[in-house]
Amino acid sequence: MKQSTKLSTARRRALAFESQMAAMAADPGVQAECAIIAREFSVADLDGLRHA
């Protein structure tokens, strides 16, 4: 396989991944699940550790 073909394939895969991630981020079901997870882990905010 040529180097240019590898880069093209890698770029196509990266674009497909970005597209899928954007679709997930816009999905109300995924947003709701993320909100639940954030609520469940919010007690860790009180652990006294510095957060970036």
pTM of the model: 0.63
Return d(Cα 31, Cα 16) in angstroms, integer: 20
Q: Please, are residues 51 and 45 in contact by the beta-carbon 8 Å criterion?
A: yes
Whether 10 contacts 16, CB under 8 Å: no
Residue 22 tokens read as 């954007």
Would the pLDDT of 2 be above 60? yes
Q: What's the chain's length in residues?
A: 52
* Per-residue pLDDT at 43: 86
Spell out the domain ranges in the chain.
3-46
Encode pLDDT of 15-47 as tens digits: 999 999 999 999 999 999 999 999 999 888 888
